[in-house]
A and B are shown apart, each in its own frame.
Chain A
Amino acid sequence: DAMVIQNPRYQVTQFGKPVTLSCSQTLNHNVMYWYQQKSSQAPKLLFHYYDKDFNNEADTPDNFQSRRPNTSFCFLDIRSPGLGDAAMYLCATSRVLNTEAFFGQGTRLTVV
């Protein structure tokens, strides 16, 4: 019954070692989002895809990249994780405009 699935739930990576977080959806939604959320703060939008069109937020660091090989999957790549990148990463999907977003359970990233 799960609709937006994030793997893994918990990820530990070494400082500077590339890491990939994954998200899949069974909703066939056009839009997929990646948010970063630090300790009970507001989720911060990193980027989103509308179908294959990639939309980067102006203040998203270059260290963060994303891939969407097909409608169902979206990946977040952190090329060189720093200690400040430790956070919960949330994936979400939606249809356009007047519909709500559906969130996955999140991946908690720890950088050691």
Chain B
Amino acid sequence: AQSVAQPEDQVNVAEGNPLTVKCTYSVSGNPYLFWYVQYPNRGLQFLLKYITGDNLVKGSYGFEAEFNKSQTSFHLKKPSALVSDSALYFCAVRDTNTGNQFYFGTGTSLTVIP
């Protein structure tokens, strides 16, 4: 069975500091990995994805993520946090063995402190 874990419910970081939001996954096939951001009472917005190729992927709003196969991780990073980055972040996985479903982690609430 496929699963995604986000070990931190809450991450606080000072504005201008680097941020990391952690994600680990478990799949039976090859993983397709995604990060989404959600603002209050809104749908999910796509940030970036890893399908194949370079382990470091760059996405929207200056975010990037590193795929690490040996650690089964896909942590989201940004070199310099903005107050406007404060939101709920979800990691998601698609398992190539099981088809079209996206499965989401429990989410991490990021607060960037001015």
Chain A contact residues, CB within 8 Å of chain B: 4, 6, 31, 33, 40-43, 45, 48, 50, 55, 57, 88, 90, 92, 94, 96-98, 100-106, 108
Are A104 and B43 in touch, CB under 8 angstroms?
Answer: yes
- 19 A-B pairs in the complex with CB atoms less than 8 angstroms apart: A31-B100, A33-B102, A40-B88, A41-B106, A41-B107, A42-B90, A43-B104, A50-B100, A55-B99, A90-B43, A90-B44, A97-B32, A98-B51, A100-B46, A101-B44, A101-B102, A103-B46, A105-B43, A106-B43
Residue numbers in A under 8 Å from B45 (CB-CB): 103
Interface residues of B (CB under 8 A from A): 32, 34, 36, 41-46, 49, 51, 88, 90, 92, 94, 96, 99-107, 109
Query: Chain A nearest CB: distance from B17 CB in Å?
Result: 24
Chain B residues whose C-beta falls within 8 Å of the C-beta of A92 in the assembled complex: 43-44, 102
Task: Decide if A100 touches B34 in the complex (CB within 8 Å).
Answer: yes
Chain B residues, Cβ within 8 Å of A103: 36, 43-46
From A91, which residue of chain B is reached at the shortest CB distance? Answer: B43
Residues of B within 8 A of A90 (CB): 43-44
Contact partner, A42, options B32, B34, B42, B105, Cβ 8 Å: B105
Instruction: Give the nearest-CB partner of B45 in chain A.
Output: A103
Q: What is the CB-to-nearest-CB distance from B94 to chain A, in angstroms, rounded to a whole number?
A: 7
Residues of A contacting B109 with CB < 8 Å? 40
Known: A42-B104, A45-B101, A50-B100. A101 touches B42 (CB 8 A): no
Kindly list chain A residues whose C-beta atoms are within 8 Å of the C-beta of B92.
101
Roughly how many angstroms separate A90 CA and B45 CA in the complex, as a whole number?
12
Q: Are B101 and A43 in contact (CB under 8 A)?
A: no
